[in-house]
Structures are given as C-alpha cells and as structure tokens.
Amino acid sequence: MKNSLLDVNGLNTWYDREKMVLSNLSLELNEHEAVGLIGLNGAGKTTFLKVLSGLLSGFCADSILLCGRPANLRAQDFKRCRYTVFAEDNSFQYFTFREYLSYVFNAYGKELPDVSALVRGFHFENYTDILLKDLSTGNCKKVFLITAFALKPKLLLLDEPVNGLDFQSTEYLYQLITDYKDHGTVLFSSHILESITLTPDRVFILESGKISRTFEHGHVNAAEIREALHYENNF
C-alpha cells in the first residue's frame, strides 16, 4: 500500500476573485513517485505549483494534508520539505551558482554536499563562478536544477523543467527524475509529451482549472494524452 505524501482537496485559486484559475482541484501525491502534470498553456500548471510553493495568497481549499496531517503551505515545516524550480526565475541575479547553493543549504539547515556529479551531468563545469544575471536561460535553469537534486527534498516541484536545456542535459534530467523516487516525490509540469510519457508513474491532465483525467503507470502514452487534451494539432 502506498503512503500519501500530499493530499489536496477542493482547491480554488485566483488572482482576481472574479475569475478562478483553479476550481475545485483535487489530487493526491504518494511518497516516492514521479508524477507528471500536463495541460495547455494557461491551464493553471504554474499557478498550482505557486500555490504549493506558498507564493500565492489567493486560494482556499477544503483540506491540504501532508503525511495525513493538516498542512499550512507557508509554515516553516512545509517549506523545508519542498523545493521548487520554476520555468522562469529571475531571483538571485547577483549570486554565483556556488553562492546560491550555499545560501539554499543554509536556509534548509543542511550540510553542503558534493555536487560535482550533478555539475558534470548538466555540463555546467565552466559556469559555477559566474553571476546568474550573466548566464543564458538554459544555464540559469541548471543552477536551480542542480540545487534541487542536490537538496533532495521530500517533495520536489518542477515547472516546465526541460525548457531552455540542451539535448544532453535534457536526457540527464529525465534520468534524474526517474531515479528521484529513491529520495522522495517529484511533481513536474510540462506541455512536452516526450517528458510526460518517458518518466512518470502517473500523469494528471489539467484542464479548465481542474484535474480532468489521470493516467496510471503502464497506461501513459502520447496518443491517449493528446486525445484527453482535445488538442491534437498542437503537439
């Protein structure tokens, strides 16, 4: 029997009270699994991850449970069990990779590990002492991805993680996502079918602000996801 890590029930989210972005959304994430979240642009994927990251105040839910107990998304204990990599992140522009890494591990109260394998895997060896503001979009993304996989939080949230990555780094990322189940749970959003079909145990379809369908392990394939999205010509 799988143990529940995060259980979200009846989530409503808004930027403007007159227009709901997510409406009565419910999903459950189990411990030690990789879960994909796919939807068309504007479906609310990034908004959902922002809610889980404690960055949005415009939301309410029937219940949010972490390991079976009521959770406050902005509480320190919840913050320390998750880390988010967003599709676009312009923060910490005057930090180098090494400075940012040290900052994050200090904030999480963890000892700084050896990240040399991750740095090599992402072909980032020549950029560790360059300010983030001077890095390309792809290399800046690698800063946050290396930090995420080094940190190994119980819940890892990745928003469009392959955007901006080169082919080799993308393949390496797929392997990291697949292997992450040894450490915790990873939820990643994407509009790219390849990334959604290659790595996860389950896939959630986000449509019109709620989960419209779930594909379980062994039944995740591109053709059925296209059909579920009713948008074949855009993939």
Q: What is the pLDDT of residues 11-25, one digit of tens each?
A: 999 998 778 899 999
Residue 137 belongs to domain with CATH number: 3.40.50.300
For position 1, what pLDDT does the model report?
A: 65
Residue 232 reports pLDDT greater than 50: no
Q: In this structure, is residue 24 part of a structural domain? A: no
Q: Quote the tokens at residue 148.
A: 């995420």
Q: In this structure, is residue 17 part of a structural domain? A: no
3-class DSSP state for residue 20? strand
Mean pLDDT of the chain: 90
Q: Per residue in 159-207, pLDDT tens?
A: 999 999 999 999 999 999 999 999 999 999 987 777 777 777 899 999 8
Q: Per residue in 112-137, pLDDT tens?
A: 999 999 999 999 999 999 999 999 99
CA angle, 189 as apex, 227 and 82 as ends, to 5°?
Answer: 150
* 98-102, 137-141, 209-213: least confident range: 209-213
4-16 and 59-60 strand pairing: antiparallel
> What residue numbers bound the domain in which 179 lies?
33-55+76-234
Q: In this structure, is residue 221 part of a structural domain? A: yes
Q: In this structure, is residue 7 part of a structural domain? A: no
Residue 37: exposed, middle, or buried by beta-carbon count in 10 A (0-12, 13-18, 19+)?
buried
Residue % of the chain over a pLDDT of 70:
95
Residue 42 reports pLDDT greater than 90: no
Residue 230 reports pLDDT greater than 90: no
Other CB atoms within 10 Å distance of the CB of residue 32: 16
For position 235, what pLDDT does the model report?
A: 43
Q: In this structure, is residue 141 part of a structural domain? A: yes
pLDDT band with cut points at 50, 70 and 90 for residue 234: very low
Distance, CA of 73 to chain centre: 15
Q: In this structure, is residue 10 part of a structural domain? A: no
Residue 216: exposed, middle, or buried by beta-carbon count in 10 A (0-12, 13-18, 19+)?
exposed
Residue that wins the pLDDT comparison between 235 and 137: 137
Residue 231 reports pLDDT greater than 60: no
For position 217, what pLDDT does the model report?
A: 73
Q: In this structure, is residue 223 part of a structural domain? A: yes
Q: In this structure, is residue 46 part of a structural domain? A: yes
Residue that wins the pLDDT comparison between 227 and 183: 183
* 27-41, 48-62, 197-211: least confident range: 197-211
Query: Domains in the chain: how many in total?
Result: 1
